[in-house]
Every structure is written in C-alpha cells, then in structure tokens.
Amino acid sequence: MEQLDLRQNVIRGKLPYRLRFEQDDVVVLLSSKLLEGSIPYFPPNVGALDLHNNSFSGVISSDIGDFGETISLLEFLSFSSNNLTGNIPNSLCNMSVLESLDLSNNSFSGVIPNCWNKQQYLSYLSLSNNMLEGGVPETIESLEIFNLELKSKGFEKKSKKRGLKARNTKVWKHFIHKMW
C-alpha cells in the first residue's frame, strides 16, 4: 500500500485538479488547515482520502463516485471541517466498498440522498453540523451502521429504526490507524 501523509504540515494553496497514483489502495492524508480551492478529482485506486480540517470550498463534483466500469477502492473518505456547500452528490453512493464517510462541519444543504443500498460495508457516517433538511432516508435505515451522526439544523430526527444515534466519535481515527 502506498501512502501520502502530509497531515499537520505548512503547505499552503490549492491541490492539482487531478490526483494520480500508480499503485492501488493508496492512502492520502492531507489534513492541515492550509489547503484551499475545490476538492480535486481522485482516481478509483485511492483506498483512503482524508482532506478534513482545511479550507476547501464550493460544491463536491456531482460525478465524484462515477468511475464507469471501474470499481472504486475507496474505503475511507473525510471532507469534514471545510467550507463545502451544495447538495451531497448521489454519486457518493456508487462507492460500494466505502466503510467510513465523514462530511460533517460544512454547509451542505438539501436532503440526504436516498441511494445508500449499495453500501454493504458502510459502518460510519457523519453528516452532522450542516444545513440538511428532511429525514433519514430509507436506504440509510436499512444499513447496519455502527456510528451514525446526523445532527443538523432543520433536520427531522424521525426514523423507523431505533438506535440511529451517534455512539462512538473516534471511529474514523480507528480506521486510519487500522491501515498501518
């Protein structure tokens, strides 16, 4: 497994529009508070992408999880604590091996997509502290999620299934450390 770990660095500015890696299952850790611009395109061979705690802004591309016939290897994705806006793209649901998704502490709006039925492995989902509205989609209720964080202004906390509440906020750190 290849790893790019530039966490807590002093690198400032924007990332290239496209990230490329030769090996499969690449781990990209770029939390720093100093990166800005839009979220770059990343190829399907990335296994973990951590861009949390930066100044990325704008919307997430609507085709972020669309790789044609190629299956994404992405298991861990964090865009938390940035300045991202717009709707959460349905294409995130195309990442069929995704285990952890953290989009918390941004300014996402609209409803949570109802497309999570391909997510057999998703065990951590945090969409807290955004401007989401509506309720818990049926496809999320059908998952066996270990940790679900949905607290947002205007969000209806109605669910047919009991126990859909945050339980362990250190899961993301556990997943990243598990990879080494």
* CATH number for position 47: 3.80.10.10
Distance (Å, whole) CA 172 – CA 78:
9
The conformation of residue 147, written as its DSSP 8-state character, comes to E
What is the span of the domain harbouring residue 9?
Answer: 3-178
Sites in the chain below the pLDDT cut of 70: 1, 153-180
Look at the chain and report how many structural domains it folds into: 1
Distance (Å, whole) CA 106 – CA 131:
8
Distance (Å, whole) CA 178 – CA 47:
13
Res 163: pLDDT: 43
Res 154: pLDDT: 66
Q: Are 41 and 19 in contact (CB under 8 A)?
A: yes
C-alpha distances out from residue 145 to 30, 122, 126, Å: 26, 6, 11
Map tokens 């057999």 to a residue.
Answer: 120
Res 173: pLDDT: 44
pLDDT in tens, 107-158: 999 999 999 988 889 999 999 999 998 888 989 888 888 888 888 766 655 4
Res 155: pLDDT: 64
Longest dimension (CA), the chain: 46
Res 162: pLDDT: 41
Distance (Å, whole) CA 115 – CA 92:
9
